[in-house]
Structure 1
Amino acid sequence: MNFEGKTAWITGASSGIGAALAREWGHRGARVILSGRDEARLAEVADSISTETLILPFDVRDDDAMKHATDKAVAWHGVDIFVANAGVSQRSAAVDTDMQVYREIIDIDLTAQIAATQALLPHVTERGSGHLLFISSIAGKVGVPMRTAYCAAKFGLAGYADALRAELSQSDVQVHVIYPGSVATDVSRNALTSDGSKRGRSDKVIDNGIPPGEAAKWIVDAVAKGEREVIVAQGMEQAMGEARRTPEQLLDQVAAMVASGYMEKMKAEG
């Protein structure tokens, strides 16, 4: 697939996988919209991209700011590719973790990503084509200790994306769920602990993980091929993800329900 002249909008684009995806799509000729909370860091990423860029800083939990950014993004060149990437991880045992930490992680990693997609959805469905990417995690396939809130959010994000894919299956809008394993980012350093404070240190497995640029190329190649589930992991993490991969036949079966009029029947029944 040729991304030349397309527009990719990426949340959480100031660092890590988000920044790497912005650079990769720019390298492939796409215009890039960068969103995140830190405007200065977004500007640094924009400076590293040779194609046209637009910076739309906002907090994903601010619905009004997000809707305003959506209007600006659509008015710029439209949105062909949207990446729901913003998120925060966790490093704390469930028994020790304040309920507010669960609310914060689920709000950022799940509810805000759904809200951003819902705001853009009328534009996407009107165009009838495009790509929606949801950055889940291997922890969205397998329950990982010390990450109960994070797993809940990432499993939930995948569920929303899978159902949305089925609903859009009669259009040319493609939905991709990305399941990264350990990628060398600040995800562990920025993870929340039991009281909501940042952990402040990384994990060896993260530091030795897949370089973000390599992960981004992996993801964009998979999107170009139309892959619905993309497991970006190595070794044991890859094996865990593959063991829980949704069979293609099942994804096709759910899409066939929509093709047979399932949604129209449900709406008619009220």
Structure 2
Amino acid sequence: MKFENKIIWITGASSGIGKALAIELSKYNCKLILSSRREEELQDVKRNCSKPENVEVLTLDLADYLNMKPIAESAIKRFGKVDILINNGGISQRSPIIETSIEVDKKLMEIDYLGTIALSKALLPHFVTNTSGHYVVVSSLMGKFSSHYRSAYCGAKHALHGFFDALRLEHDKDNIKVTIICPGFVNTNVARNALTADGTQQGYQDEMTENGLDVDVFVSKMIKAIRKEKFEAYIGKFEKFGVFVKRLSPRLIHKLVMRSKVR
């Protein structure tokens, strides 16, 4: 797949992976729609893109998952169509299960799962009509195997795999592609913004995230995976091999994660 002359919609585009992805994709001859809740930050990302005139800003809140249809219609009107939707928006969580309020579990499911699938479903008729479309879903290695203190996050990410695997099957006949990107540790603010047991933000970086892949390195690998239309891509350092260990022995990955210093 080539990005030239494509219209690409990126959620969670105001910071982290989404911001770096927008800036890198803007170097191609394509048009971008950038979304998140924060318009001022999106405008700043737009100004940093290679061709700001080819970039549109469209605010949305994934938690408002019952109202995604007009958002999708607005996105389509910006450039007349959408070719690729990169579902990157979301939040993480850091807290023991026994201490975590069910409201935190609910919020993670609303934003990371329901918001993502609601937006994707709102755009689906457009893709079907065009007999073309590509969903890119930023999941996590935690969508393939779990770790301490991320129960709500792992649950939401596992759910994304189930949904988008089904979508890929149902709409293969419509030439609709699905690529699920599974990052390991990437040096962004994801840990600082993660919710704790009572729903407040953690507010600090953790060692594993800080020592993770540089975001620009990650984005370069992510773009290669999208271009190859991979079903799934596992991008990280040593932690990415946990996916293959899990396939071979669920008991072994349990022991390895237990020994890790993940927090």
Alignment CA distance shift 1:141-1:228 (3 Å): same
TM-score (norm 1): 0.87
Question: Within 5 A, what are the aligned runs for 1:72-111?
Answer: 72-77=74-79, 78-111=81-114
Q: Size of the alignment, in residue pairs? A: 245
Q: Which residue of structure 1 aligns with residue 225 of structure 2?
A: 222
The separation in 1 between residues aligned to 2:37 and 2:23, in whole angstroms, is 18
Alignment CA distance shift 1:117-1:137 (3 Å): same
Kept after mapping to 2: 8 A contact 1:190/1:200: yes
Aligned partner letter, 2:104: V
Q: Does 1:206 align with 2:209?
A: yes
Q: Secondary structure at the match of 1:33?
A: strand
Kept after mapping to 2: 8 A contact 1:26/1:49: yes
Q: Which residue of structure 2 aligns with residue 254 of structure 1?
A: none
Which stretches of structure 1, 4 residues or more, deviate above 4 A after TM superposition?
none
Deviations 1:202-253 (A, max 9, x none): 1111112111121111111111112110111111x111123357xxxxxxxx
Q: Secondary structure at the match of 1:230?
A: strand
- Report percent identity of matched pairs: 39
Q: Does 1:151 align with 2:139?
A: no
Deviations 1:132-177 (A, max 9, x none): 0111101101111100000000000111111111111123211011
Q: Which residue of structure 1 aligns with residue 178 of structure 2?
A: 175
Kept after mapping to 1: 8 A contact 2:65/2:110: no
Give ranges in structure 1 of 5+ residues lacking alignment: 246-270
Give ranges in structure 2 of 5+ residues lacking alignment: 248-263
Q: Which residue of structure 2 aligns with residue 260 of structure 1?
A: none
TM-score (norm 2): 0.89
Calculate the aligned-residue CA RMSD, in Å.
1.5
Q: Which residue of structure 1 aligns with residue 125 of structure 2?
A: 122
The alpha carbon displacement at 1:57 in A equals 0.8
The alpha carbon displacement at 1:64 in A equals 6.1
Aligned partner letter, 1:113: T
Kept after mapping to 2: 8 A contact 1:59/1:66: no
